[in-house]
Amino acid sequence: MDKRIASVDGAVADIPDGATVMIGGFGGSGAPIELIHALIDRFLATGSPKNLTVINNNAGNGHVGIAALIEQGMVRKMVCSFPRSADPRVFTEKYLSGEIELELVPQGTLAERIRAGGAGIPAFFTPTSFGTDLAKGKPVEVFEGRSYVMERWLKADFALLKAELGDFYGNLTYRMAARNFAPIMAMAAARTVVQVSRAVEPGTIDPEAVITPGIFVDTIVEVADPAQEEALNRAGAHYPEVTA
């Protein structure tokens, strides 16, 4: 029942080529930077994993986190709501050159597709996107005189998340907005890996304060001083570090 692991490298060691990976975060808020960078380190050392499908709110900024994952050529497809944000040049260049696919999903629909995946709901209907290019080829039904588009659930092989506290059983709390997509991603993934700012003894977290129950978590790794994407980008960081 003790779900701790000693290192971020070990936490991501089982992610294979071609995996679908949900990554928590709303921009940099809640982004598991250390887990993402550990995945890059593994790729540079072994050539794996590659051909990943990544599900996230956006497609990265600057040259760290998800942007760095894309820059290394590890991502085959992005499923997201905001492929263009503050500094999206890495994704933009890859997309325009045909090196990466994009499935664009409205943000509310993205959240509901992930939630549906965790709840075992294969499909649902929403009015969002009706009459737009995003609805092309999707079934449409009329309910009470209004047209609704059918959307399918989203599930993943792995979820990489960031939490504030995690006990040894995997029960989690989050820091403010860093919670974002993490709880539903934990439910929608076959395996959930979480970096926590502090690993605590079972019983330390008030049961009423638990946001993600440990039943949805497979691995936790303590990262006591996690990096923040925005701070890295303000400093001009590039992962891995570029040397002359």
DSSP string, 72-85: TT-EEEEEESBS-S
126 pLDDT higher than 60: yes
CA separation for the pair 191, 56 (Å, rounded): 16
Q: Write down the pLDDT at residue 191.
A: 98
Portion of the chain with pLDDT greater than 70, in percent:
99
Q: Write down the pLDDT at residue 242.
A: 64
Which whole number is the average pLDDT over 77-95? 92
CA dist 12 to 84, 101, 168, 220, 226, Å?
Answer: 27, 23, 18, 11, 16
Kindly report the pTM of this predicted structure. Answer: 0.95
Residue 241 — very low, low, confident or very high, per pLDDT cuts 50/70/90?
Answer: confident
28 contacts 64 by C-beta, under 8 angstroms: no
Which whole number is the average pLDDT over 17-41? 97
Quick one: 72 exposed, middle or buried, by C-beta within 10 A (0-12, 13-18, 19+)?
middle
Which phi and psi (to 5°) does residue 194 adopt? Answer: -130, 130
Q: Write down the pLDDT at residue 109.
A: 98
Q: Write down the pLDDT at residue 161.
A: 98
Q: At CA 155, angle to CA 152 and CA 161, rounded to 5?
A: 135
Count of residues in the chain: 244
